[in-house]
Structure 1
Amino acid sequence: LMACLERKHCIIKAIVEVEIEAICLELLEITARLYIHQSYKWNVSFHLICLSNQWGLLLSSPVHAFTGTYGVNYGRIADNIPKPGNVALLLKANKIKNVRIYDADPEVLTAFKGSGIEIIVGLGNQYLKDISVSEDRAMDWVKENVQAFLPGTSIKGIAVGNEVLGSTDQELWEALLPAVKNVYNALDRLDLTKTVEVSSPHSEAVFQDSYPPSSYDAAYIALEKAGFGKMEVIISETGWASKGDANEVGATVNNAKTYNKNLRKLLAKKKGTPYKPKIAIRAYIFAMFNENLKPGPTSERNFGLFKADGSTAYDIGFDGLEPSSAVSSLLSLKV
C-alpha cells in the first residue's frame, strides 16, 4: 500500500486544526461526509465519513455513495472530450460504477439515466453564500439538480463547495457549514436523506502535516486520537500525470501506467490495511480524461486514463472508444 500510494512533490498547506475539528463536530450531527483531497500533482486524497449516533441507527441500511472499491473523477474542463452519453457507455463497458463530477450538469445527469452508475454531484463555491442564508434557495437547488433526475439517474451524494477551507475567503469558510446544513435539511424535507449524502470537498490543507501522503493507516490513528474512531478513510482523488513540464520529471507515461495499474490491482483485491484489515480500500481515480483547458502546469492537463478522443492514454486493462466514436452517438470499443 505504501509503495502504491507514494507520490512526490506535495504542496504542504497549513491550517488551524480547530477549524476543521469544529466543522466536523457539527457535521457529525447531520451525518455528512467530508471529502479531503489535494488538487495538485499526484493527487492522493482522503474521504472522511463522519459517523454520528444518527448514522449508527442506520447501520442496517446506511447511505452508500460508493459501490465496490473503484471509481473515477469525471472532470470536463475541455472542449474536445466525448459526449456524456458516450462517457456513460464507456464507463459501463469498463465496469466502473462510481463517478464524481464537479457540478450538476443536466446534460451529464440526463445521459447517465438508467446506466446504474452512481454519481456524486457538486454544488460550486459560487452558490455557498446564497444557500447558507436561505433554506428555500437550498431547496430550489436540490429540486432542480437532484430530485428532478431521481430515481432514473443514480445520484448518491452532493459535494457542497470545493476546497473551501484551503481558500483565504473567510466569508466562504463561514458559509460552508450553514450551506451544508441547509442542503441536508432540503434533502430531509424531500425524504431523500436515506439515498443521497451530503459532503464537502477540502484540500489537504485541513491536515497539519500531510506528508507522507502514503500514511493511510496513520490517518486512521490520528482520527482515533481526535475522537473520531468510527470515521472511514476513502481516497477521493489519486492519480499520476502521464506528461509534464521540464521540471515535472516524474510525469511520464510509464510512471502513470505503473501507478494506476498497480492501484487498480490493489483495489480489486478488496483488502484492507494492516490497521484496518476488514475495511476494503476504496478510491476514486483522478481522472477520467486529459482535460485540455485546465490551467496550471502541463501535468494538470494529462491525468486522464483516457485521451480526448476516448482512446486509452496507456494500457491498464481498460477498453477505449475508437477515435471516430468521440464525436459519434455510437460506442465502438477497441478489441
Structure 2
Amino acid sequence: MALTIFFSLLLLIFTASPANAQSFIGVNYGLLADNLPPPSDTAKLLQSTSIQKVRLYGADPTIIKSLAGTGVGIVIGVANGDLPSLASDLSVASQWINSNVLPFYPASRIILINVGNEILLSNDLNLVNQLLPAMQNVQKALDLVSLGGKIKVSTVHAMTVLGQSEPPSAGSFAPGYQAGLKGILQFLSETGSPFVINPYPFFAYLSDQRPETLSFCLFQPNPGRVDSNTGIKYMNMFDAQVDAVHSALKSMGFEKVEVVVAETGWPTSGDVNVVGPSVENAKAYNGNLIAHLRSMVGTPLKPGKAIDTYIFALFDENLKPGPSFERSFGLYKPDLSMAYDIGLTKTTSGQTSQSPSLGKATTSTGWCVPKEDATREQLQASLDWVCGQGIDCGPIMEGGVCFEPNNLVSHTAYAMNLYFQKSPENPTDCDFSQTARITSDNPSYNNCVYPRAGDVGDGSVRGVMNKYVSSDKAMDHNKSECSSSLSLPLFTILVSLISISLHVNL
C-alpha cells in the first residue's frame, strides 16, 4: 500500500509539473469574419502547434465541442450585455453555466470565464457597477455544481486602466477606477483568479515612432530603458507594461494576484499613413515574444516564471470594425497555412533538434560568444532577438542537445554563434550591441556542437570552454535553472508521506 501511495505521489508531481509543457502560450480565436475554416479543422491546426490555450470572446458551443479531448485549455467569455441579468439573479448565472459549461466540461477543458471585456473602458457606470456582482454570481453558480476552483472567474481590462505606467515601478491604476477595482481585486485574491490585461507594445509604438522605440517594442537589440526608481534596465516594452501592472496591483495591496495577458500582438498591414504594421514587424514581435516566454526568464519584477499570454489572433477578422490594421493580426490564413513562421509548429514526439549543418563555403575566424561583462538584461535581449529571426533555437529548448546546462549565458552563447555563422565573414554580426566577441576556442561540449561555417565535422568535440557551461558566473546570470533531480523540500515531503503511510499500514 505504501509503495502504491509513493508512486501515485510521484506520478502526480511529475505530471503536474509545467516544465515539459508550454502551457503559457495561448491564442485569441475571434469570429468577426466570413471566411474562417470550420472549428473542427481549426482544432486540428491547434493540435499541430505548441499553442496550449485558446481564448474565445463568447461561448460558441461548436468551437468548445470541437476542442473536446484535445487537452487545449479554453477561456470563454460572458457578453457585456449579459452582465445586468447575471448580476441581479443567481438563477440566471446558474442557467448560463448549465448552458455554456456543463454540457462540455471536462472533455472540453474550460479553465477560465471572463465576465465582460474591457468594461471599465466603456465608461458606462451602470455596466461598471454590475461587473463585480455578475462575477460573484458566476462564481457562486460554479460553486453550486462543484466547479469552483477548477474553473476561474475574472474579467478583461484594457491598459488604460492604468493612470501611470512609467517607470514600471510607479505603475498605478487611474484614480477614477481604483474604488471599483478594489472589490474586484479582493474577489480575485479570495478565489485565486488572475488579473487579466491587454498590453500592446504596438500601440505604444504608434505614440512614439522613434527607431529605438520600435526596437524596444520588438524585443530587438536596443539601449534599454532604466527605471529611475529601481535602477532596473528594461530591454523590451512587454516586460515594462506587464511590470507596470504588477506595480499597480502592489500599490493596491494585491501583489500576489497573478497577471494574465489576454491579448497582445502586432498587425501585418494597415493604412498607408500608419507606421508599424508589416509582416516583418509582426514576425519579429510575436516570434521574439514566444522566445522570451519560452526562456522562462519572467519579468524583472517577477523573474523565473513565464506569464500566461494569449497572442492576438489566430486568424485575421475581415469584418472587424475600426482601422484596417484591426483586421490584420492573424497568425494563420483561412486555408490554415501560416501567415508567417514564428516557430509554433509542434515537432513529432521524441524528436529533438540537432545542431544544424550550415554548409557555408566560407570559414569563419572562430565562434561568437558573449562578453564576460554582458548583463543579464543584454543577454536576454540578444537571445530573444536571435530566436525570433528564423534561427533554429531548438537545440537550447527543453529536450534539445544544448539545453543543459539550463542557464542564460550558455543558451545565449549558442544562439549568438548560430546567428553569426550565417555570415561569419561579417564580424559585425558578432556585435550584439557590443556584448559579444569572436573567439578561436571551440565552445562545444559533450554532444552540443557549436557549428562553424566551413567545418567538416568528424563527430569530435575539441577545446571545450567550460566557463560557458558550468561556471558560477554563468549560474549567477540565471537564478531559475531547472534541475532534473528532486529538490530537498520536495524529497523531504515525499519521505514524510511514505513514513506516514508505512506507519498507518503497520
What range is the shorter-chain TM-score in?
Answer: 0.7 to 0.9
State the Cα distance separating 1:210 from its structure 2 match.
4.4
Matches within 5 A, 1:164-203: 164-203=119-158
Structure 1 residues 188, 276: closer, same or farther in 2, change over 3 A? same
Where does residue 269 of structure 1 map in the other structure? 295
Q: Is the 8 A contact 1:312 1:319 kept in 2?
A: no
For these two proteins, the number of residue pairs brought into alignment is: 257
Give a deviation string over 1:12-69, Cα, whole Å, max 9, x none: xxxxxxxxxxxxxxxxxxxxxxxxxxxxxxxxxxxxxxxxxxxxxxxxxx9x9x9722
Where does residue 84 of structure 2 map in the other structure? 129
CA distance in 1, matches of 2:341, 2:305: 29
Q: Is the 8 A contact 2:23 2:51 kept in 1?
A: no
What is the identity, as a one-letter code, of the residue corresponding to 1:301? R
What is the identity, as a one-letter code, of the residue corresponding to 2:304? K
Give a deviation string over 1:131-173, Cα, whole Å, max 9, x none: 1110001000001001111111101111101111110211111
What is the identity, as a one-letter code, of the residue corresponding to 2:138? V
Deviates more, 1:300-309 or 1:220-229: 220-229
Are 1:82 and 2:37 counterparts? yes
Secondary structure of the residue that 2:302 maps to in structure 1?
coil
Secondary structure of the residue that 2:82 maps to in structure 1?
helix
Q: Is the 8 A contact 1:305 1:313 kept in 2?
A: yes
Where does residue 365 of structure 2 map in the other structure? none
CA distance in 2, matches of 1:161, 1:185: 17
Where does residue 312 of structure 2 map in the other structure? 286
Where does residue 336 of structure 2 map in the other structure? 310
Matches within 5 A, 1:145-164: 145-164=100-119
> Could you tell me the TM-score, scaled by structure 1's length?
0.73
Secondary structure of the residue that 1:200 maps to in structure 2?
strand
State the Cα distance separating 1:281 from its structure 2 match.
3.0
Query: What CA RMSD, in Å, does the superposition of the two structures yield over aligned residues?
Result: 2.0
State the Cα distance separating 1:225 from its structure 2 match.
2.5
Q: Is the 8 A contact 2:269 2:325 kept in 1?
A: yes
> Could you tell me the TM-score, scaled by structure 2's length?
0.49
Structure 1 residues 232, 291: closer, same or farther in 2, change over 3 A? same
Higher relative helix content: 2
Give a deviation string over 1:255-297, Cα, whole Å, max 9, x none: 1111111111111112222222233233111111011110111
| Structure 2 unmatched ranges of 5 or more | 1-15, 167-203, 205-236, 347-506
| Structure 1 unmatched ranges of 5 or more | 1-61, 321-335
What is the identity, as a one-letter code, of the residue corresponding to 1:288? L
Matches within 5 A, 1:1-16: none
User: Which of the residues 86, 93, 97 maps onto 2:48?
Assistant: 93
What is the identity, as a one-letter code, of the residue corresponding to 2:68? K
Q: Is the 8 A contact 1:289 1:305 kept in 2?
A: yes
Q: Is the 8 A contact 1:204 1:210 kept in 2?
A: no
User: Which of the residues 197, 212, 224 maps onto 2:250?
Assistant: 224
More RCO (CA 8 Å, sep 6+)? 1
Give a deviation string over 1:271-325, Cα, whole Å, max 9, x none: 22222223323311111101111011110000010112211111212459xxxxx
CA distance in 2, matches of 1:316, 1:280: 18
Matches within 5 A, 1:239-258: 239-258=265-284
CA distance in 2, matches of 1:194, 1:234: 17
